Amino acid sequence: MLENEFQYYLDHQDELVKLYNGKFLIIKDKKVVAAYDSKDDAYFEGQKNNELGTFLIQYCSPGNMAYTQTFYSLNVAF
């Protein structure tokens, strides 16, 4: 649903980091509409002017650590 907004972030990440490093961005319609210091502020302020599910909140930082996760499981033999 928000693939276009996430792709916008990926395509412009370097320039966005220069402007907003360490901020939580609200991205809608392939543009940054606001930047906040906390994800809670981004969420609560974002929902004031936008319907939930129509905007992306993305932490802005260099590299891929802000949008990837690694999960580990134990390999246990019984």
Confidence of residue 75 (pLDDT cuts 50, 70, 90): low
Spans of all domains in the chain: 3-59
Summarize the confidence of residues 56-67 as an average pLDDT. Answer: 93
The residues, ordered by sequence, that sit 6+ positions from 1 with a Cβ below 8 Å of its Cβ are 53
pTM given for the model:
0.84
The residues, ordered by sequence, that sit 6+ positions from 29 with a Cβ below 8 Å of its Cβ are 5
pLDDT tens per residue across span 1-41 = 799 999 999 999 999 999 999 999 999 999 999 999 999 99
Distance from C-alpha of 60 to C-alpha of 63, rounded to nearest angstrom: 9
